[in-house]
Structure 1
Amino acid sequence: MSVNKSNIFFIINPISGGKKKSSLPSLIDQYLDKEKFAPIYAFTEYVGHASELAEEAEKKNYDIIVAVGGDGTINEVASKLVHSDKILAIIPFGSGNGLARFLNIPLTAQKAISLINTGKHQVIDTAELNGKKFFNMAGMGFDAHLSSVFAGNKKRGLKSYVELGFKEITTYKAQPYRIDIDGVKYDNDAFAISIANSSQYGNNVYISPKSSLIDGYLDVCIIHPISLVKLPVLAFQMITAKTHKSSLVKIIRGKHIKIERNAPDAVHLDGEPLQLGESLEIKIVPASLKILSN
């Protein structure tokens, strides 16, 4: 019997993605290699609890800290592990699972647990928007507006998100933005602006197909003002990963981005909405997070 087991801490969001996780500890017990790992579990009880648990865990003798949930839960946990010697692992249970999909982490709990057994990990770039960390995608404009409205929606899951999107998109208007990317200035009216560290929002919907988590850059994806009749074209380009060839989207790579808008409004960080002011500053933080991947 091994006496050098790695301590591993599972932070489980019980409501992410609208999926129950009460059976997850038994799945972990069944599929985690107990010769390698000594597992501990905690279920979150409120918004921000995952962040608190991760902060405590980072100070203790855990080798791997596992975020069980969607991109929002991952954000809470990963934010406490940047520049840490701890390794982040993911068991995806969100509606979109953008970061997990990019890292080729299995979407079934059994296979995601089995991946942990391999111990395979890499060091990825992270990013900050006005000092707040994000890992997959940040944005403003329509997607941030939709995230903000969806946060107050009683129904969760992809179906509810899509239905709400169809409703909101008919009345949303493009906004003016003044953008500085590594000193080069752009003035654009935009339907939305996404700051991509990885390639997709989630559910294999790609906004920046050529993005990489290890290149030291972010991709600023400016979706031009768009008529309703062109939306199916944009949707098709996103699901076929062709937006980098689209006339509807401009993608500019950079490390330091400043964005000015006319009024405070919503932004989202990994799908989680918050209200921020007119001035936004985004920076890449290269090679700053250890994460298990396939």
Structure 2
Amino acid sequence: MLSVNLGDDKIKIVDGKMSGGKIIVNKCYEIETKVGAMESGNIKDLMAFSQVLQDCINSGGIKNTTLSYVLDNPRVIFREMNVPSVSRDKVKLIVANEIFSDTKMANNTLDYIVEGTFKNEEGKKRARITVTYVSNDAIDSLHTAATELGMRPTVLDVSPNAISKLVEKICKSSRDMRDQTFVLLDYKDSFISLYVFDGGQRRFSKNSTLYVGNGKDNNYLLGELTSNINTVIRFYESRSGKNVSSIFITGNIEGLDDELLQGLAESLNLMISHLPIPSFVKGVDIFDFNKYSGAIGAFLRR
């Protein structure tokens, strides 16, 4: 299977498979997205996008025909909601009525996952869900691009969900991580995604755009990262009463040098480390595991 992580700036492809409960990575590729081909996760120029995908497949000698897409940009909707614990069709209707106008509802495909259930103060059963939606035009364009290249698209995922699946599975195999309350920093070139994991489950997530004109401006980047992470930590600790004990980083970790990471650890007064490679992922080193973590997480199913 190919897992294709779609960013506005870069497309990352992992050629691999699931075997015996493990993700086996054969090859990883990254290619620049042609200017104007994509915007906010939507294909703006189908021909240009298809050509980029074709170039990447050809350069890697990829022969897989099954393909999964992962949308990876800061405008991807990944929203937590509390709703009555009712049938799936009724939940979708409740969510759609809250999020969409009638016109917008017809133009988008909505999906959700149940994170857990609880009883409110009145004793009524509620469900905690995470919702995402993608425009029908985007889905049609992605399907067309794949089929025109002779591939069979089977899954459309979003990066926050793919990352969450991966980290939650890591926590299941690591008691140390499962017992912690920690923040995961998913670092991209132009934005960051921050997640709080508590008891092995994702509890909160937030995207923030980075305005770094000079990639070597460590002082500015350090200030931005410190401010964003502190905001998330304060919010979660005040809401939950739990203390965040550490920070893990994933994504483009090579863009965060040792000096910056040391400064970040000192500013936050927390231990910082790369997201570790779990025993169920084979065929990559620590840098490629984190660089392609979103695409790797898409191999997992809830």
Tell me if both proteins adopt one fold, taking TM over 0.5 as the criterion. Answer: no
Q: TM-score, normalised by structure 1?
A: 0.24
Q: TM-score, normalised by structure 2?
A: 0.24
